[in-house]
Structure 1
Amino acid sequence: MRDPIDDAAFRLALGRFASGVTVVTTVQYGVDHAMTASAFTSVSLDPPLVLVCSHRTSRFHEAVLDTGHWGVSILSESGRKASAWFANRGRPLEDQLDGIAHHRGTSGVALLDESLAWLECRTTDAHVAGDHTILVGEVTAAAVPEAEDAPLLYYRSHYGTIVRSSESEKTIYEGGA
């Protein structure tokens, strides 16, 4: 048996990983459910798959398992207030989208306007992992607005954005920068 890991050290270590910020939504019986998630990533290009992790005790969790479809709004820097709002566990469920600019996707899910991109997904797999469920979804629709290009990032419990470098993996590999 291994020694238990120090919870504080584990949280501090994870906080050193900068991530993008998303709001994931579903609609169940006409009621919108939403959560802020930084545990989101692409899984496969063919077929197009992404994953998001949902806390198993959240209202969103049961709703998304029931509906089997969800939307992902990849937030721009202007989406900070929406991110904070949907991260608040105590917010009222009814009318939680009031005051949040959004539109409906083809599946009826809410997609936040202050976003760099939107995805609509159909759940293909759900894996229990500790206190979360890993939801894998096939992307059924994707869109990118032309106006936004400043991502909202999360690092050490704070929001931020990027400062672009002239270097990329291609320029470094090819010796160009």
Structure 2
Amino acid sequence: MTTPPPEPTSDAFRQAMGRFATGVAVMTAVVDGVDHAMTANAVTSVSLDPLLLLVCVEREARFHDAITASGTWGLSILRASSRGTADWLATRGRPLHGQLDRIPVHRGPGTAVALLDDALATIECQTVNTHPGGDHTIVVGQVLSVDIIDHPGDALLYYRGRFGTLK
């Protein structure tokens, strides 16, 4: 007779998923003229027809209310050299107003959200659906625009609880 495996814990699950390297991006939205932003690595392409992208946002995060209220949002895929930006926009309790002041950005043509100038690529989306996902909300967006930046480079990755690169 086999022994059943131990009940999984959130700590064990977090450690296991930490072995799955992911890209790092910054999500942005505008609500009442105020920019909101957060670092994200729970990002997945969903469909090529129509073009759909999903992001998972913790319900307790300040950005959660912004993305659900705005209806449109941006995603900037970070370069390896953007570790400081990723750290800053992942800091809980940072000031809301002026949080993008030290990061060069431009406004997306379809949504007017802030998109990072130094990103490897930027994408603008309009929310088409949301789904409860435990302590997160799964936000599905239809892609409105894609801009692939001319200055290629290494992507910033998240692995085992730290930012890094493939090198």
Name the TM tier (shorter chain): over 0.9
Deviations, residues 51-91 of structure 1 (Å, cap 9, x unaligned): 00001111111111111000000101121111101100110
The answer to whether structure 1 residue 119 and structure 2 residue 127 are counterparts is no
Equivalent residue, structure 1, for 2:152? 148
Equivalent residue, structure 2, for 1:27? 30
Equivalent residue, structure 1, for 2:20? 17
Structure 2 unaligned regions, length at least 5: none
The answer to whether structure 1 residue 51 and structure 2 residue 54 are counterparts is yes
Q: Quick one: distance in 1 between partners of 2:51 and 2:62?
A: 27
The alignment's TM-score, normalised by the length of structure 1, stands at 0.88
Q: Quick one: distance in 2 between partners of 1:128 and 1:95?
A: 30
Identity %: 53
Q: Quick one: distance in 1 between partners of 2:6 and 2:164?
A: 35
Equivalent residue, structure 2, for 1:64? 67
The answer to whether structure 1 residue 86 and structure 2 residue 86 are counterparts is no
Q: Quick one: distance in 2 between partners of 1:8 and 1:160?
A: 22
Runs of at least 4 residues off by over 4 Å: none
- Contact in 2 for aligned 1:17/1:155 (Cα 8 Å): yes
Equivalent residue, structure 1, for 2:166? 162
What is the number of equivalent residue pairs in this alignment?
162
Deviations, residues 22-60 of structure 1 (Å, cap 9, x unaligned): 100000000011111100010001100000000111111
Between 116-125 and 55-64, the greater mean CA deviation after superposition: 55-64
- Contact in 2 for aligned 1:18/1:153 (Cα 8 Å): yes
CA RMSD of aligned residues (A): 1.3
- Contact in 2 for aligned 1:25/1:71 (Cα 8 Å): yes
Q: Which amino acid aligns with 2:114?
A: A
Q: Quick one: distance in 2 between partners of 1:9 and 1:145?
A: 38
The answer to whether structure 1 residue 131 and structure 2 residue 135 are counterparts is yes
Equivalent residue, structure 2, for 1:169? none
- Contact in 2 for aligned 1:78/1:114 (Cα 8 Å): no
The answer to whether structure 1 residue 105 and structure 2 residue 108 are counterparts is yes
Q: Quick one: distance in 2 between partners of 1:66 and 1:3?
A: 41
